[in-house]
Amino acid sequence: MSNEKDSVYIFLKKDLVPKYGQCNKYAIDSTGSIWIRADISEPRKAYVFAHELYHLNDKSKHWLWREIKATIAGVVWPLWGLVCVLWDFVAVKERRDFLVDRIRKKY
Ligand SMILES: [Zn+2]
């Protein structure tokens, strides 16, 4: 995923009801923000974060196409992120050394 924004702010807000989350592309210092409701479960928060993060960088005009893409991204990107993290244990020396150290010292 390419993130064109400098940073993402996360707010846990109850007053988004009935929405679970919302993104604002230029909310704070021309950077993006993501708001996530505080009263939803952690798995829902993780999904909503991935969904809204996609919206933050999407330039599509049609609302339905935007929602379809963000919904797919909410499912796929966490899995892709896991693949990348696992790959880093193979490809990045400091991550590989960290893993080996954890296995040897059992922490
Ligand atoms: Zn959406």
CA 102 to chain centre: 27
- Tell me: the pLDDT tens digits for 63-99? 999 999 999 999 998 888 889 999 999 999 999 999 9
Cα of 35 to ligand 1 centre, how many Å?
12
CA torsion, ordered 78, 82, 84, 86, to nearest 10 deg = 180
Cα of 63 to ligand 1 centre, how many Å?
9
DSSP bridge pairs for 21: 36
Region class of 34: left (phi > 0), else alpha (psi between -120 and 50), else beta: beta
> Domains of the chain: which residue ranges?
8-105
Cα of 61 to ligand 1 centre, how many Å?
13
Cα of 85 to ligand 1 centre, how many Å?
26
Model-level pTM greater than 0.85?
A: no
- Tell me: the pLDDT tens digits for 37-63? 888 888 899 999 999 989 988 999 999
Cα of 7 to ligand 1 centre, how many Å?
19
Give the dihedral sign, CA 66/72/6/22.
positive
